[in-house]
Amino acid sequence: MSSLTPNITGRAYWRSLEEYADSPQFRELLGYPGGGAIDEATLSVSRRRFLQLMGASMALAGLTLGGCRRWEETKLAPFAQRPEGRVPGQPEYFASMTERGGSALGVLVESFDGRPIKIEGNPKHPYSQGATDAWAQAETLNLYDPDRSRFPVRGRGEARQRTTWEELVAFMQQRVGERQGADSSRLAVLTRRSDSPTRARLAARFRERHPEAGWYEWEPINRDNELAGTRQAFGRAMRPAYRLDRAAVIACFDADPLLMHPAAVRHARDWAATRKQADSEMQMSRLYAAEPTFSVTGSVADERLAVRVSEVPALVRAVAARLGVIDGDGAGGGGDLNGSTQWVEKLVDDLHRHEGEAVLVVGESQPAEVHALAWAINAHLGALGATVELFEEPGDPQQGQGEQIAELARRIEAGEIDTLLVLGGNPAYDAPAELDFEAKLNQVDEVIHLGLYADETARTATWHAPAAHELEAWGDGRAWDGTVGVQQPLILPLFDGKSPIEMLALALGDEAGEAQGYELVRATFREDVLAGDDFERAWRRVLHRGLVPDSAFEPVNDASADAPANVPERLDAADGEFEVVIRPDTSMLDGRWANNGWLQELPGPITKLTWDNVARISVTDARRLGLSQGDVVRVSVGGREVELPVFPTPGQVAGSVVVSLGYGRRAAGRIGDGVGVDTYRLRTVEAPHVAAASVEPAGRRERLATTQNHHLIDPTGEWGVTKRTGERGGSGYIIKEMSLASYRQDPHQARRTANGDLPLQLYDPPYPAGTPAFEAKRPGGPVAFNEPHAWGMSVDMNACIGCNACVVACQAENNVPVVGKEEVLVSRELHWLRIDRYFKGDPEAETDVVHQPMMCVHCENAPCEQVCPVNAAIHDTEGLNLQVYNRCVGTRYCSNNCPYKVRRFNYFDYHAKDPRGHWRPWLNIPDTQTRAEVDRIKAMANNPDVTVRMRGVMEKCTYCMQRLSRAKVAAKNDWSRGQRDEPLVADGEVVTACQQACPTQAITFGDLNKADAVVSQEHENPRAYQVLNDDLNTRPRTRHLAKLRNPAV
Amino acid sequence: MASDKQASRFVFPRWANYLLPLLVLGAVGGGLYVPVVIGFGLSADTLWRGYAPAQPVPFSHALHAGELGMDCRYCHTTVEDASFAAIPDTQLCISCHSPEEGVAGIAKDSPLLRPVHESYETGRPVEWVKVHDQADFVYFDHSAHVNRGVSCVECHGRVDRMERVYMAENMSMAWCLDCHQQPEMHLRPLEEVTNLAWDPRDHLEAQGVETEGMTRDQAQRQIGLELKEKYNIHSRTYMMSCSTCHR
C-alpha cells in the first residue's frame, strides 16, 4: 500500500483500499468492463482454434439433426401405491433440524417428489423463529455432493480397500461391543459435541457397559473459555442465552454474537428488533464493539474500538473498575489504547444510564477470568435474568474440549488406547497442532471412523464408514435454549450411510433392526422426552412440528457472580511483534464445509473474498512492511509457521494478524482440496485463539478472488460514480445513512437528494407506446405494472448485518451455479444477490462499514430493457423485470447498461462443468463434459421449479417468481372454488428465498397495491429510498431503507 | 510430346463441360430443397403432432373414457389441484383389475395386464412413456387451466376416441399463444371441463337461446366472453407476459 496516501479519490464510500487510494492497480481494473484483469488463458482462443471448434460443432450438429424427431423419450413412473396426500410435482415441507457444534437449528425442508431441495427456517420454532444461516442453507449441496464417501473402507494408506457394512459391524461388535471389564480401558470414543437426547442415552449405555473406556468430545470451535468463565463466576458451567431484544446497550468484547455463535440467528433477530424500534419509538439500541478487525457484529456497531485481542482484558477491567466491580481506577497499566479511554468512558456512562437494559458479551478468545469478570459486571448491572438468561450447561462438562483431546492424545502416546471409535469430526485435520493428532491416530491399532467424507481422519483410520447426512437419518438434538428437536430423514441414505447414533448402537452390539435411527430416537422419546403422554399421538405431533414444545431449559436466574481476583491486564500474546488471532471462517467455519462450492464461493462479509483464506493485517502494518493485497507472508508462532497471502483490512488495529480456519484441506474432496492454507497448524491447546507471532514477507504473491472491486464502471463514467457514491462530506445516491439523533430531527432526509431533484433524467416515465394506461390501485401505489399485483421489495440496511444467509438461500433456490476461482477472478461469479460492503472514513483510523444487499431492483424504467436487441429483457404486468432465457443471444448489452450491476452472464455451461477452473476435457473447452460424465447426483440438488440456465444467457434476480406463480395459481384456484374472496395473493403468502432466510428480517416482499401489506408500509417508511433513482429515474420496485447509526454523543 | 501430355493432366476433359448445367441445377434445387426440408421437416406439426409411442400396457382411453364413460378425473386425480395431472398409481388400476384370487377383477387373466399386475406384486412402477412433454423452461399448470374452464380436449383432443394416445396438437408456443390471446374461444362452464364431446350450441340451447344458423365459433364466443368475465381471466397483456409460463 505504498501508494495509499497520494491520489485519494475523496469518495465518501469506498469499496476497497485500491479504490480509496486510487492505486495504479485500480486504474488498470477500470479498463475492463468486467472489472477484473482477464488472464491470457481465458482470452486466448486463437482464430485458427476458433475455426476448428466451429467446424467440429457444425459437424456435430449435422450428425444430431438427422436423427432428431423429438428429444429423448421420457418415462413416467407413477407410484405402485401413491402415499396419501402426496401430489406429484407439489413440494412438501417437513419440520426437522440441523445440528452444529452441539446446538440444533429448527428447519423446514422442502421436498420435491421425494427429493429434499431447499432448507428454510422453521417459523414456529420458539428459539430460532424461522431464521437460518448460510451454513444451514448450504446443507442440501452437501447432501448431493458426489464426493461423499460411498462405501465402507478397511485398511490404512496403501492397504485401503472396499469392504462391507456386515464386516465392519462384525468387527466393531467384536472389538467394542464384546469387551469386558478392565479390558475396555483400552477403548475410547471421540465424538463431536452434541446435546442429542438419544446420543446421551446411548452414551450412558456405553459408559455402563464400558465404565473404564474413555469418552472424549472435540469440537474445534468450542466454548471452553466461556464455560470455564461461568464456572469461575457462578461455581458451575452455565450457558448464557442473551436476550438482545431487551437490551439498550450491548457491549461486545471481541465477541461476534451476531454470526459466530451457536445462537447467532436468534441474537441477530433480537438485535434487529431493537434497531427497528427507531421507526416506532425513535429509539434504538447502542452496540459497542471492541475487536481487532471487523467482525459481522463489529461492522454494525455504533461505537467500535479497534484493539488487539490481547489488550481486551484491560478494557473489561477498566469498565469493571469504573463501575466499582473491582478496585482500582480502571486506567490500567496499558494506558490509552487507540482511543480506548474515551470508548470506555462512553460505555460506562451508557451502562450507568441503562442498568437492567445492558449486557456485556465476551468472545471465546478471552480467558476464563475475563469471562468471569464480565459476568460480575453483568450481575452488577442487573443483566442476569433480564438481558441474559442463564441455563445450566447440559452434561456439565468438567473438562474443556481442548483438555479432552489433549488427554486422548497423551493416552494414545502412552499406548493406553488400542481401539478408537471416531463418530464424526475430523481430528486429524482440526486437532491442536502440537498434538500431531494425525500421527497419534496412526499409532492406534484400530481406528473406526464414521464420516461424510473419506477425509484426513478417514485416511488414518483402519476402518472408515460412510455417514448418513442429516437429511438422510433420524436424530434429535437440542436448540441453544434446550428446545428438543427431531431430525427426520427426507430421503433414504444415498450412499448407504449410517448416523452416529446408529453407529454407536451397533458398536454396543444392538441388532441391525434395533439400531435403526428411527427406533433409537423413538425409544428415547418413549422412555424419556415424551414419557407419560399418549406416546403415538404425542410423537406424531412432535414430528409434525419438528420439536417438543416447552422443552427449553429452566433459566437459573438466582445466580450471583463474584469478581475474580486474578484477571490479567493483557494476554501473553501481547508480547510478540504481532499477535495472531485465529478465528473460525465466515464461510468454512471449522472446515467441515470445505467441499461445498456454495460456501467456498461465498464472498466473506468484510473481505468479499472467495476461495481462499488470508492473513488480515492493518493498513498501517501493510504499509510498514511494504505489503499489498495478495503478498504472501510467513506467520510464525513458536516455531510453527504458515504462509498465506495478506489482505490489508481497513479498520483493523495495528499489530494484529487475523487468520481464519477451515482451509488447506488435504482430503476434503474435489472442490475443497488445496483451497487456501491450513491455519490449524498455528493452533495449540494452550493458545487456540491468540498467540504471539512474527510476520515476514515470503517474497511471492497470490491472486485473491475478492469480489470487492467487481463491476467497476470505466473511466468514462467515473465522474458519475464519484457523484453517486458521494464526495467526502456528501453522501451520494447509493448509500444513505444518518445518525439516530439527526433522524429524530428530520426523519425524511433520506428521501431528499444531495442536490435536489434533478431536472434532467435519463429515462422517460414508464409508459411504453401501446401499453394500456395503468391507474394506482391505492393512493401512492405504483402507477405502472400493477395488474393484478404490483410486486415490490424492501431491504432495511439498518437491520442487515451482512451475514450472507440470503446469498446462499438465493443460490439454493434459484439453481445458481458455482463458477470456480478462476472465473471469480474475472468477475464472472453468478450470485443473483450480492451484499455490497462499503467502507467509509479513514482506513487507518476510524472506519465504518455499510452492508447493502443488492439484487435486481426491478426498475419500472429499466435501462436493461432499453438496450436489449431481442426483447429478452422485458416487463410483465406485475412489475417483474423478466429475463427470457430462450430469447437471450448473449450480447450482454443489458448488463452493461444496468446501473446496479446485478445481471449475471453464463460464460460457460457451469452446471455441467467441474467448477474448479480449467478442467478441459474435449478440445480444451472448459464446459464440454458430456452429460454422462457429470455426476447425476449433482443435478438432484436443483430446484425443478426454476429453469437451469445454459451457457450464453443472461440471468438475474426474478423476485423468486416460481414462488409467485405457485402462490398466484393457488389463490386463483381457491377463489374459483369459493374459498377466497378475491383471486389475489394475500400479504405474507409469498416469501422470497432471501426473505425467508434473513435472520434479521431485513427483507420484506409483497404486493404494493395493498396499503396494508408490510412491504407497502416499508415503502412508506421515511427511511425508504430508491437507489440511484434521483439520478436516473429508473423507478426501482425494491426500496432500500437508510441505515441509522446510534453513536454516543 | 511428354510435356503436352503432362500438361493435359491438369485440363478437365471435354465431357466435363456438361456437368456445369447439372451443378447449377443442383445448386438452385438444393437452395430450394434445404429450406423446405428444414421448414416443414422441423416444424412443430411434423415433430409433434401425431406422436403416439407404444405403451407398456396398451391401455385404451377409447374404451375407458369413451365407451365406459369414465371421467378423466377418476384416474388423473390431481389435475384440479396441481400443476401435474398425475398418472394413476397401480393401486387405482387394481381397484378394477385385481389379480387376487377370489376378487372379481376384470380381465384378470389378460396377458396385456401383466405389467400392471407385476407392478402390484413387486411395488415397482409401470414405466409409461410420456406423450405430451413440454420443454423444461415451460411451466404449464393443469390446475390453473381446468379451474378456469379450459377443457382437457383443448390440448389433448378427443382422448375418449383414442385407442393409443397421441398428440392431437403440436403444442408449440405459437399454439399456446393462440389461446392466451383469445381465451374466450376456449372456455366452457367448469362442470363441462371433462366433457370432451361438449358443444357450445347445445349449451346455449339448454339455456333457451336460439342457435339456428349459429356457427360453433359464434356460440363459443358468446359463452366464452361471458365466462371470461366470470372466471376473472386476465387482460391480454397479462396472459401474454413471458412470466405467465416461463420462470
Size of interface A-B (CB pairs under 8 A): 145
Q: Which residues of B touch A954 (CB under 8 A)?
A: none
A905 SS3 class: strand
Predicted pLDDT of residue A101: 84
Spatial distance between the Cα atoms of B185 and B200, rounded to a whole number of angstroms: 10
pLDDT score of A807 more than 90: yes
How far does the CA of residue B236 sit from the closest CA of chain A (Å)? 10
What percent of the residues of chain B are helix, what percent strand, and what percent coil, each to the nearest 5?
55, 0, 45
How much is the average pLDDT of A730-744?
A: 84
A611 against A722, higher pLDDT: A611
Binning pLDDT at 50, 70 and 90, where does residue A772 land?
Answer: low
A876–B124: do the CB atoms touch at under 8 Å? Answer: no
Q: Which residues of A touch B120 (CB under 8 A)?
A: 80
Q: Which residues of A touch B91 (CB under 8 A)?
A: 79-82
Predicted pLDDT of residue A250: 94
Spatial distance between the Cα atoms of A1005 and A991, rounded to a whole number of angstroms: 7
Spatial distance between the Cα atoms of A59 and A393, rounded to a whole number of angstroms: 69
Left if phi > 0, otherwise alpha if psi is -120 to 50, otherwise beta: which for A684?
beta
Q: Quick check: B242 and B236 in contact, CB under 8 A?
A: no
Q: Quick check: A636 and A736 in contact, CB under 8 A?
A: no
Predicted pLDDT of residue A71: 60
**Where in A401-547 does DSSP place strands (E)?**
419-423, 446-451, 463-466, 475-478, 484-487
Amino acid residing at A173: Q
Q: Quick check: A680 and A663 in contact, CB under 8 A?
A: no
Amino acid residing at B61: H
Query: Mean pLDDT, chain A, as a whole number?
Result: 85
State CA A367 to chain mean position distance. 26
* Residues in contact with B225: Cβ distance below 8 Å, sequence separation at least 6, in sequence order: B184
Exposure letters A210-248 (e unless 16+ CB within 10 A, then b): beebbbbbbbbbbbbbbbbbbbbbbeebbbbbbbbbbbb
Q: Count Cβ atoms below 10 Å from residue A717 Cβ, excluding itself.
A: 13
Q: What are phi and psi of A521, to 5 degrees?
A: -70, -40
Spatial distance between the Cα atoms of A408 and A385, rounded to a whole number of angstroms: 38
Q: In percent, how much of chain A has pLDDT > 70?
A: 89
Q: Quick check: A305 and A289 in contact, CB under 8 A?
A: yes
Q: Is the dihedral of CA A453, A458, A462, A467 positive or negative?
A: negative
Best probe of the A interface among B119, B243, B245, by most A CBs < 10 A, is B243
Spatial distance between the Cα atoms of A1020 and A1022, rounded to a whole number of angstroms: 6
User: What is the DSSP secondary-structure string of A509-533?
Assistant: T--TTTT-HHHHHHHHIIIIITTTS
Nearest-Å Rg of the Cα atoms of chain B is 28
Q: Is the dihedral of CA A582, A587, A589, A591 positive or negative?
A: negative
The angle, 0 to 180 degrees and rounded to 10, between the axes of the packed helices A500-507 and A197-209 is 20
Q: Count Cβ atoms below 10 Å from residue A1022 Cβ, excluding itself.
A: 15
A453 SS3 class: coil
Q: Quick check: B50 and B130 in contact, CB under 8 A?
A: no
Q: Count Cβ atoms below 10 Å from residue A910 Cβ, excluding itself.
A: 23
Torsion of CA A49, A52, A55, A57, to 10 degrees: -70
pLDDT tens by residue, A556-566: 877 788 888 88
Lowest mean pLDDT among A354-358, A928-932, A939-943, B12-16: A928-932
Q: Quick check: A404 and A251 in contact, CB under 8 A?
A: no
Q: Count Cβ atoms below 10 Å from residue A642 Cβ, excluding itself.
A: 21
How far does the CA of residue B151 sit from the closest CA of chain A (Å)? 15
Predicted pLDDT of residue A334: 56
A78–B125: do the CB atoms touch at under 8 Å? Answer: yes
pLDDT score of A50 more than 60: no
Torsion of CA B5, B6, B11, B14, to 10 degrees: 20
Predicted pLDDT of residue A992: 95
Q: Is the dihedral of CA A114, A117, A123, A127 positive or negative?
A: positive
Q: Which residues of A touch B247 (CB under 8 A)?
A: 945-947, 958, 961-962, 965
Q: Count Cβ atoms below 10 Å from residue A871 Cβ, excluding itself.
A: 11
Tell me the pTM.
0.90
H or E element that contains B116: helix B114-122
Inter-CA distances, A897 with A717, A722, A861, A902, Å: 12, 18, 12, 10
Spatial distance between the Cα atoms of A26 and A576, rounded to a whole number of angstroms: 34
A329 against B84, higher pLDDT: B84
> Which among B84, B125, B247 has the least Cβ separation from residue A89?
B84
How much is the average pLDDT of A757-776?
A: 55
- Match 487507540 to its residue by C-alpha cell: A338
Gap between the terminal Cα atoms of chain A: 34
- Match 391507474 to its residue by C-alpha cell: A775
HSE toward the beta carbon, residue B49, CA cutoff 13 A: 14
A161 SS3 class: strand
Extract the C-alpha cell encoding B87.
Answer: 398418472
Q: Quick check: B141 and B83 in contact, CB under 8 A?
A: yes
Q: Quick check: A18 and A26 in contact, CB under 8 A?
A: yes
Q: In percent, how much of chain A has pLDDT > 90?
A: 51
B126–A882: do the CB atoms touch at under 8 Å? Answer: no
Kindly give the confidence (pLDDT) of every residue in chain B, 247 residues in length, as a single tens digit, with 9 standing for 90 and above. 455 666 677 788 888 888 889 999 999 999 999 888 888 888 888 888 888 889 999 999 999 999 999 999 999 999 998 998 889 999 999 989 988 888 888 888 888 999 999 999 999 999 999 998 888 889 999 999 999 999 999 999 999 999 999 999 988 899 999 999 999 999 999 999 999 999 998 888 888 888 888 888 999 999 999 999 888 887 788 888 899 999 8
Q: What are phi and psi of A465, to 5 degrees?
A: -120, 135
Q: Quick check: A144 and A117 in contact, CB under 8 A?
A: no
Lowest mean pLDDT among A144-148, A401-405, A492-496, B42-46: B42-46
**Where in A857-965 does DSSP place strands (E)?**
873-875, 881-883, 904-905, 954-955
Selection from A880, A648, A918, A894 nearest residue A787 by Cα: A880
How far does the CA of residue B127 sit from the closest CA of chain A (Å)? 5
A87–B88: do the CB atoms touch at under 8 Å? Answer: no
A75–B51: do the CB atoms touch at under 8 Å? Answer: no
pLDDT tens by residue, A97-137: 999 888 999 999 999 988 999 999 999 999 988 889 999 99
CB neighbour class for A209 (10 Å; exposed up to 12, middle 13-18, buried from 19):
middle
Amino acid residing at A583: R
Q: Quick check: A722 and A1030 in contact, CB under 8 A?
A: no
pLDDT tens by residue, A5-37: 444 556 788 888 888 877 777 777 765 544 444
The angle, 0 to 180 degrees and rounded to 10, between the axes of the packed helices A312-323 and A368-380 is 30
Is the Cβ of B129 closer than 8 Å to some Cβ of chain A? Answer: yes
Binning pLDDT at 50, 70 and 90, where does residue A925 land?
Answer: low
Predicted pLDDT of residue A618: 93
Residue of A nearest to B122 (CA): A80
Q: Which residues of B touch A876 (CB under 8 A)?
A: 238, 241-244
Spatial distance between the Cα atoms of A1001 and B204, rounded to a whole number of angstroms: 55
Selection from A111, A61, A103, A59 nearest residue A85 by Cα: A111
Spatial distance between the Cα atoms of A251 and A274, rounded to a whole number of angstroms: 14
B128–A878: do the CB atoms touch at under 8 Å? Answer: no
Selection from A216, A183, A220 nearest residue A410 by Cα: A216
Is the Cβ of B122 closer than 8 Å to some Cβ of chain A? Answer: yes
A457 SS3 class: helix
Q: Quick check: A295 and A585 in contact, CB under 8 A?
A: no
pLDDT score of A1 more than 50: no
Binning pLDDT at 50, 70 and 90, where does residue A754 land?
Answer: very low
Q: What are phi and psi of A239, to 5 degrees?
A: -115, 115
Lowest mean pLDDT among A43-57, A983-997, B89-103, B129-143: A43-57
Extract the C-alpha cell encoding A566.
Answer: 486474578
B133–A71: do the CB atoms touch at under 8 Å? Answer: yes
User: What size, in residues, is chain A?
Assistant: 1049
